A and B are shown apart, each in its own frame.
Chain A
Amino acid sequence: MRSVLTVWQAAVLGPMWRSPGRTALTVIVIALGVALGFAVFLINRTAADEISRAARSLYGLADYAIEGDAAGFDELLYPAIARLEGIEAVSPVVEIPAKLADRRGVIRVLGIDAFRARELQPSAANLALAANTVGGVVGSQALTLSASAARDLGLTAGDAIDLQVGMRRERFEIAGVLPGIAFEERAALLDIAVAQWKLDALGKLHRINIRLAPQANAAQVAQAIERLLPPNARLVTPGQSTDDALRLSRAYRANLTALALVALFTGGFLVYSTQTLAILRRRRELALLHALGVTHGRQFVHTLVEAALVGVVGACVGVALGFIVARYALALTGADLGAGYVRTVSASLQVNAFEWLVFVALGTFAAVAGAMYPAIQATREATAKSLKSGDASHAPPRAHGFVALVLALVAGALSFVPAIGELPLAGYAAIAVFILATIIAIPSLLQRGLRPLPTLPFVPAELAIAHLRGSGRYATLSVAAIVVSFSLMVAMLIMVTSFRGSLDAWTEKILPADLYLRVGHVGQTAFLDAAQVRALRAVDGVERSTTARFAQLTLRPDQPPLTLIARDLDPARVAQEVWLTDSSASDVSAEAIPIWISESAADRFDLKPGRVLDLPLGGARERAVIRGVWRDYEHPSGAVLIDRATYVRLTRDDAINAVSFWLAPGASIDAVQEGLRAVLGDRVGDRAQNDQRTKRELRRLSLQVFDRTFAVTYVLEVVAIVIGLFGISAGISAQVLARRTEFGVLRHLGMTRAQIARMLASEGAVLGTLGVVVGLVAGAVISMILIYVVNRQSFHWSMDVFVPTLPLIACSAVLIGAAAAIAVASGRSAMSGEVVRAVKEDW
């Protein structure tokens, strides 16, 4: 037993203890990678749990629900459904996002029949009924708030809440507050009849929750229900509804996860880098152990066990760190990290042991995978040669140009594969394969990059270049570390800049007016009528205006509805008002209604310009032709643009949600805003008048939202870069520290410390420059995959390429400077002791 321990001590624990810095570094990077991955996973899972819980509280014990779009469906459907065979309980719901009159924001109002709801949502309905003692859900103009709504609004039982309906104000007493456990959603419960009456939804329902009889054939009942459904309603299961809600944020969450895994990948690469360097340095020691009888197989296992130990320790630290990060991130930004996809109710973080174990295993796997190739290399070192030549290896790295080329082609092919399950999995694979191809190509690129460097009449620089040319394996590892981290940073920088630039250009294009007024949105209670708009148009300084109405459109029952934008449009001038990316010839069917769909709608429903559709509008199906596809960053689920006059004719809905104002020459925007406020102020309180925005304000707001959404990606990117810098540091410092003897010789020959520092700075700068150049090219390629494949497939939006020239130059300079500084600092460390003694092994 003792002898076994001795071998393990010599082969595994010894090297780890001997190089505590290297061991600590690899532990830290694995910990960081795991921490990021675990934190993002926990946050994503919490978001999904929130959405599920919210959906669950809406459904209660229902097996199915009929969901209408924002316009709702006829309430006569309810008795028809209730009479169907196989149905045990039915609960009708009016579901309206109501605009708060005395503050910004919206609250979802659920109009329920408390006695019916009690059968499907017993806890919520019973509590709502119990709260009825001060006002009542039943029949009175009092509502019950969910706990989260009461907390967010700062209201309690006995207070009043004002909701804006059209442009009038409706006051409701708060009868009570439900405990959090009874109803998770941020909502208000109201008697269904009162909701229909007060919120302008007479005769309408938005949802019918259904519970089947115990012996009912679910498929048959579903078929029977579907036969009764109007075009703008669909039958869903609670799971399907949750999926739809999750789908909206799935791509965002998947991209965050991918970015977090990049950090783990970079950590794994650093393990590869440090292990390879360690094995290069320990060639003689490994050869000696082999000569003493340790088999190559055992040495392979030793290397992997060393990596696994590092991985386990790093991963354990990482999961603990990740848990803390997730907890703080949830408290700080909510479950969607500020992106606005999830309206957080009460993000609480719970972790089970299985999740901990999975991430510990993932971190360990990354470390072991990173050590795999070096472990194989260790077994291939020629024992006799290594014993003789010592630890210095001057063998050039093997160039696998053909393999790199094949992998690059595979990456190219993968980038043409469509989304799988609405996620750009092949796009991610393309990026991973391309990075691998780049790493494999580095020896060839290095040889080509160093060959044309001139011989300088400057001894430190000449020695530096000679050293780099002769130390291919070390140089390859250092350059690879730079390329891996820098290319990903460049790619993200180009992608984010392109997105931001495109968003800014898009905002400029779609906001041609001087001033915008929005009153309510899809399905909300607030809106303007024609008379009110006429009064607004009459304000001094207004030259002209256009109006818009927001509604919903269900194209396919198995898909969530699209946003319908009915806007004053001149079909001949649409290209001037929206950002058309594709359009059909104008000689399309004149009888069909012209519509323009967003890229997201085009992708989701596989639609193209020229295609004729039957649109469910105003309770009937209308023939429409797609005249064009437009770029839209506002409606992630997709939008359809239609002329408002046509919309009003077909639906009789003449409500207006948005008005764009063009000012007369010389008119003061402040005076016009004041005039509009005066008109609106006659009808609603002053504090609700802040939906007026100038063009500049809207642009600023959209960029603020963008920056908030991408803030977390910047954080993840910075962590990946820090890990990358660790990699560069490990690569260069290991290389420099292994050269103490050389420095000793140079000191004997009369090189000053400053000259050696200049030599090392030159080496670092050359390595940094090569890494930066390759990283820039690789990053540019990866950014194209991100822009044209990953983003398009994830979010269905196109963008133009904007190159952040100055930031890239600055980052390149910082990285080259960092590489030079790391080399110099490592050199100082290497020469800090009596470096001359390194050559005195024989004195």
Chain B
Amino acid sequence: MLHVDRVTKSFGPRTVLADVSLELHAGQYIAIMGESGVGKSTLLNLIAGLDVPDSGRVAIEGRDLAALDDAERTRLRRARLGFVFQAFHLLPHLTVEKNVALPLALNRIGGSSARERVAELLDAVGLAGRRHAWPRELSGGEMQRVAIARALVHRPALVLADEPTGNLDAESAQQVLALLAAQLARDRAACILVTHSEVAAATTQRILRLTARGIESEPRR
């Protein structure tokens, strides 16, 4: 589903990623850990098609991102990727329901099927009763659950989750991670979880460590 093949990326004289390769299959859930500045965000940018590598290849579902222009990469991202951010990044002027429905609207999916899918996701994340609430009225855990619903509502092939528990207390973090894993399994979506938390990483199927030497895989648990 995702092929990252010997990717190199430099910013000026500084090489951030050198010959990094990674492969991810449909429904696979992995964690990437690493020290700050090691290139985690650069790697995610390249996978999301928000940046292009200096060399190497990134392909999603067989489509080489380098062969696509910005508009095509955007359309691919819109249809096949989902994002969960540490700071939630819900749009403050949209209700919970509309935040979740936004990826569907961008993919021109409307009508009853869209409404049903949004309701299904909100029900799944336990926020069916708060669909008309504004983001500012939610707790951090609730906001991240809305973000998970938004990331999955359009049935993406790959979810990129960036420290989704970084702003949450331990209990909320636990709930969010469980919810994310359950939803990924339900939709058979692959996911890359970037985290500093061993606890969070432990909820994934595989842990990769990104270092200056490249990606090192930890043994399966």
Contacts and interface: CB of A to CB of B under 8 A. Distances in A.
A463 B91 contact: yes
B89 interface: yes
A841 B74 contact: no
B79 A457 contact: no
B169 to A, nearest CB: 15
A459 interface: yes
Contacts of A839: 85, 87, 89
Interface stretch (A84-92, A429-437, A747-755): A747-755
A459 B48 contact: no
A467 interface: yes
A466 B50 contact: no
Contacts of A742: 91
Given A466-B93, A470-B92, A749 B83 contact: yes
A843 B106 contact: no
A750 B91 contact: no
A748 B79 CA distance: 11
Contacts of B75: 750, 752
Contact of B89 (A467, A741, A753): A741
Nearest to A395: B136
Contacts, number: 87
Contacts of A467: 91, 93
Given A752-B71, A836-B45, A747 B50 contact: yes
Contact of B93 (A394, A459, A747, A843): A394
Interface in A349-407: 389, 392, 394
Contacts of B162: 840, 842-843
Contact of B94 (A466, A836, A840): A466
A750 B79 contact: yes
Given A466-B94, A470-B93, A751 B106 contact: yes
B145 interface: no
A750 B107 contact: yes
B201 to A, nearest CB: 16
A749 B50 contact: no
Contacts of A842: 85-87, 162-163, 166
A751 B40 CA distance: 23
B89 A836 contact: no
Nearest to A394: B92
A207 B91 CA distance: 82
Interface stretch (B56-64, B97-105, B120-128): B97-105
Contacts of A834: 51
A469 interface: yes
A742 B40 CA distance: 22
Interface residues on A, range: 20 to 34
A497 interface: no
Contact of A392 (B78, B92, B94, B107): B92
A839 B45 CA distance: 11
B77 interface: yes
A462 interface: yes
Interface string A729-763: 00000000000011001011111111100000000
B44 interface: yes
Contacts of B150: 749
B41 interface: yes
Contacts of A843: 40-41, 44-45, 86, 162-163, 194
Contacts of B105: 459, 462
B74 A751 contact: yes
Contacts of B40: 843
Contacts of A752: 70-71, 74-75
A750 B75 CA distance: 6
Contacts of A755: 106
A471 interface: yes
Nearest to A390: B87
Given A750-B75, A750-B106, A750-B107, A745 B92 contact: no
Contacts of A751: 74, 78, 106
A2 to B, nearest CB: 33
B70 to A, nearest CB: 7
Contacts of A457: 110
B83 A748 contact: yes
A526 to B, nearest CB: 76
A745 B89 contact: yes
A831 to B, nearest CB: 12
Given A466-B91, A742-B91, A747-B50, 14 more contacts: A394-B93, A394-B136, A463-B94, A467-B93, A470-B92, A470-B93, A745-B85, A748-B48, A749-B77, A752-B75, A842-B85, A843-B41, A843-B44, A843-B163
Question: Closest 9 interchain pairs by CB?
Answer: A750-B78, A470-B93, A843-B41, A842-B86, A745-B89, A466-B93, A836-B50, A748-B83, A752-B74
Interface of A: 389, 392, 394, 457, 459, 462-463, 466-467, 469-471, 741-742, 745, 747-755, 834, 836, 839-843
26 contacts: A392-B92, A462-B105, A466-B94, A466-B98, A467-B93, A745-B89, A745-B91, A747-B50, A748-B50, A749-B102, A749-B103, A749-B106, A750-B107, A751-B74, A751-B78, A752-B71, A752-B74, A752-B75, A754-B71, A834-B51, A840-B162, A841-B86, A842-B87, A842-B163, A843-B40, A843-B44
Interface of B: 40-41, 44-45, 48, 50-51, 70-71, 74-75, 77-79, 81, 83, 85-87, 89, 91-94, 98, 102-103, 105-107, 110, 136, 150, 162-163, 166, 194
